[in-house]
């Protein structure tokens, strides 16, 4: 279908999937911003682009709504996997996908309607080393490091799961407000400690194997849910001894289950929903050129 799209969400974190071979325009920062605009375009937390791969069954590029590129997205990978299965790109339920943040393995879970309504994703190994995010602090690991943001003195744990994350915890029994997220999120995302910016999670342990997080995504802002953010926050919580694996991560959009292995290899399981398939109108496409 010329200029067609597939739209899905993972716990409210929505993406549009496109195949560049089927588009009459190129995915540039300008066109990505236009498509993702929620008032003037299709509206989305990003675009997932199918690309060739020599290392995996499929290749994926992930674009943020500001036109920048992300290395990895847990929710995006589940949506992309459902797209591949639903549109007949594959009939397999076990396959690999290459992202800029590394190669991942996906297992689809087929429901009684023959839909791939959930997926388990092997997200790779997390690291706390500054060079992986990157972060300019000269330390061996980014564990409970001081940082000033929006006039507040905080302590963060930095994690890379193929893309960068800054996790800030409050103690059990406390909570983060949305107002704090909207203030601290952009300040931390663009902090000079993170030369390539960072994703942000405000987290609280709420049980021996459970945490609650609010999410500010690099290039996207506040989001209802995030797979890579869930992985990063769960990994940080385990590393700090706040919880034990497997970790239930609760977000405004819903819950994901994250298994954190002893070597910090991460496995994520969660639902995925198809919303729509359609075609961009000729007049909208003309406006992109």
| Spans of the chain, pLDDT less than 50 | none
Topology given in CATH for the domain delimited by 4-122+272-288: Diaminopimelate Epimerase; Chain A, domain 1 (3.10.310)
Residue 91 in contact with residue 99, Cβ under 8 Å? no
Residue 157 in contact with residue 125, Cβ under 8 Å? no
Q: DSSP secondary structure string, 8-42? A: EEETTEEEEEE-GGG-SS---HHHHHHHH-TTTSS
Secondary element (H or E) of residue 227: helix 227-239
Domains 4-122+272-288 and 130-263 share a fold: yes
- The beta strand positions in 67-198, using DSSP E, are 69-70, 94-99, 102-110, 116-125, 145-149, 152-160, 164-169
Output the CA–CA distances (angstroms, integers) from residue 202 to 159, 195, 207, 238, 270, in the order listed: 13, 20, 16, 15, 21
For residue 239, give every residue at least 6 positions away whose Cβ sits within 8 Å of its Cβ, in sequence order, or none.
Answer: 128, 143, 157, 264
Identify the CATH assignment for 130-263 out of 3.10.20.30, 3.40.109.10, 3.40.50.300, 3.10.310.10: 3.10.310.10
Neighbour count for residue 138 (Cβ, 10 Å): 6
Helix (H, G, I), strand (E, B) or coil at 54: coil
Q: Please choose, from the candidates 217, 208, 215, 193, the residue with its C-alpha nearest in 3D space to the C-alpha of residue 142.
A: 193
For the stretch 149-179, pLDDT in tens is: 999 999 999 999 999 999 999 999 999 999 9
Instruction: Answer positive or negative: Cα dihedral of 157, 162, 164, 167.
Output: negative
Neighbour count for residue 263 (Cβ, 10 Å): 7
In this prediction, residue 289 carries a pLDDT of: 80
Q: Alpha-carbon distance 120 to 33, whole Å?
A: 30
Output the CA–CA distances (angstroms, integers) from residue 144 to 41, 66, 229, 278, in the order listed: 41, 30, 17, 46
For residue 261, give every residue at least 6 positions away whose Cβ sits within 8 Å of its Cβ, in sequence order, or none.
Answer: 245, 267
Domain boundaries, the chain: 4-122+272-288, 130-263
Residue 244: both structure tokens together: 């034990």
For the stretch 245-287, pLDDT in tens is: 999 999 999 999 999 999 999 999 999 999 999 999 999 999 9
Overall pTM > 0.75: yes
Q: Alpha-carbon distance 213 to 228, whole Å?
A: 12
């Amino acid at each position: 279908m010329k200029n067609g799209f597939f739209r899905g969400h993972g716990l409210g974190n929505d993406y549009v999937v496109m195949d560049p071979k089927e588009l009459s325009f190129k995915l540039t920062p300008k066109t990505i911003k236009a498509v993702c605009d929620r008032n003037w375009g299709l509206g989305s937390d990003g675009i997932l682009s199918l690309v060739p791969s020599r290392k995996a069954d499929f290749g994926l590029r992930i674009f943020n709504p500001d036109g920048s590129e992300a290395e990895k997205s847990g929710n995006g990978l589940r949506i992309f996997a459902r797209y591949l299965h639903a549109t007949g790109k594959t009939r397999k339920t076990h396959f690999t996908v290459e992202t800029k943040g590394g190669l991942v393995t996906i297992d689809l879970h087929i429901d009684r309607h023959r839909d791939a309504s959930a997926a388990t994703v092997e997200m790779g190994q997390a690291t706390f080393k500054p060079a992986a995010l990157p972060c300019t602090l000269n330390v061996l690991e980014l564990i409970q490091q001081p940082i000033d943001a929006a006039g507040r003195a905080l302590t963060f744990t930095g994690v890379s799961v193929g893309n960068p994350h800054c996790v800030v915890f409050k103690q059990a029994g406390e909570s983060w407000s949305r107002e704090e997220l909207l203030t601290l999120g952009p300040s931390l995302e663009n902090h000079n400690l993170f030369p390539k910016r960072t994703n942000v999670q405000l987290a609280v342990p709420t049980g021996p194997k459970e945490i609650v997080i609010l999410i500010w995504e690099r290039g996207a802002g506040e989001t209802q849910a995030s797979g890579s953010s869930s992985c990063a926050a769960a990994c940080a919580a385990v590393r700090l001894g706040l919880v034990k694996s497997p970790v239930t991560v609760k977000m405004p959009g819903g819950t994901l289950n994250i298994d954190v292995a002893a070597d910090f290899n991460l496995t994520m399981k969660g639902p995925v929903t198809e919303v729509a398939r359609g075609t961009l109108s000729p007049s909208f496409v003309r406006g992109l050129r």
